[in-house]
Amino acid sequence: MSGRSADSITLDIERSIVAGELEEGRPLPAERALMEQYGASRTVIREAITALTAKGFLKSRPRYRPIVCRPDASSAMQAAGGVIKHLLDNSRGVHDLYQVRVLFERVLVRDAATGAGKDDLKRLKDALDDNQAAICDSERFYATDVAFHRVLYTISGNPAYPAIHAGFVEWLAPQWSRMPRSEQRNHDNFLAHQAIYEAILMRDPDAAERALVDHLEASWEFVRSTFFAGENE
């Protein structure tokens, strides 16, 4: 009824991918094969492939066969990312997104404080130690900083959380990863991480949340004054 046969093909290939008929990581059949399989012209097949690529069900390099991608939380974040990155061209958009991150981590540290297991605490401590060891190397410090926060996203075991973390990191990277760094600032950040860790260790969710919020708000203020100094808030 609604005129686009490409849509139904898109849907069917999508279904095949989720159903596992098209194996993840394998290349899609050749366009000319698909056009025989679906009895459609190459135009339509290519249109379906384009749509699936944009939707994140295929990864296609220019001259190669598209690779089948099983959808997971990570690809969902990536699909959203195509739009989200356009919302981040001003401080307002960046701050809105950053607030979401802060919101998220506030619960994560609270839950860590109340429910983290011994192994979780150890992973957190390890990440903290790595962070401390990298204070004098700003590039490595950024990586260990991200890694420390990532541990918080892994404690619950919900596979969506690490994917969400990856999204935050990627989307906020234009500002955070390119921020001027100094050993002094690294050290301050390490102390903030330590305060969070210790509050978690003391099983004090309120203190942990407070330490986290202080840390993230200071970080935002630094980014704001660095990149968005002129904009009206």
The span of 47-55, 112-120, 194-202, 220-228 binding a second copy (CB under 8 A) equals 47-55
CA dihedral 135→138→140→146, nearest 10 degrees, is: 90
Q: What do you get for the CA distance between the two ends of the chain, in Å? A: 50
Among positions 31, 40, 72, 194, the unique one binding a second copy when judged by CB under 8 A: 72
Q: Which of residues 10-39 bind a second copy (CB under 8 A)?
A: 14, 18
**Neighbour-count burial for 202-225, b at 16+ CB within 10 Å, e otherwise:** eebbebbbbbbeebbeebbebbbe
- Does 63 sit near a second copy (CB under 8 A)? yes
- What binding mask, one character per residue, do residues 141-170 give for a second copy by CB under 8 A, x or -? ---------------x-xxxx--x------
Closest to DNA by CB, 1 or 83:
1
Three-state SS at 68: strand
What does the block give as tokens for 56?
């994140």
Among positions 84, 147, 201, 218, the unique one binding a second copy when judged by CB under 8 A: 84
What does the block give as tokens for 37?
């399989």
CA distances (Å), origin 50, targets 2, 43, 181: 19, 11, 41
* CA pair distance 65, 68, nearest whole angstrom: 9
What does the block give as tokens for 231?
């904009």
What does the block give as tokens for 160?
């969506």
For residue 30, the partner it binds in a second copy, DNA, none, with Cβ less than 5 to 8 A by kind, is: DNA
Among positions 27, 38, 65, 76, the unique one binding a second copy when judged by CB under 8 A: 76
The span of 62-70, 71-79, 114-122, 184-192 binding DNA (CB under 7 A) equals 62-70
Among positions 37, 41, 43, 90, the unique one binding a second copy when judged by CB under 8 A: 43
Residue ranges binding DNA (CB under 7 A): 3-6, 28, 30-33, 39-44, 46-47, 60, 62-65
